[in-house]
Amino acid sequence: VEEGEFQNGLFIKGKMKHPNGLIEEGKFNNGRLDGQGKVEYPNGMVKEGEFEMGVFMKGKAIRSNGTIE
C-alpha cells in the first residue's frame, strides 16, 4: 500500500507498506527507497539514513532489543 505523493503515476514520496509487514518511508525512485529514509522490518529492526536505490548506505540501524549499530 502506497501513501503519499505521486508524479506521472509513479510513487515518489511517502510511506510504502508491504504485505509481509515491511514499512518503507521517504523518497522513492522507480519503486525503491532513494535518499533520506527509514525502513521498519517485521522483526522490529529499524534502519534510518541514506538509501541508494533500495540499498542502505549510511545511517543507524536499531535492533529490536534497542542495540544501535
pLDDT in tens, 3-49: 999 999 999 999 999 999 999 999 999 999 999 999 999 999 999 99
- Per-residue pLDDT, 35: 96
- Per-residue pLDDT, 57: 97
What's this model's pTM, rounded to 2 decimal places? 0.89
Q: Is the pLDDT of residue 69 over 90?
A: no
CA distances from 5 to 26, 33, 44, 45, 46 (A): 10, 14, 26, 26, 23
What is the pLDDT averaged over residues 51-64?
95
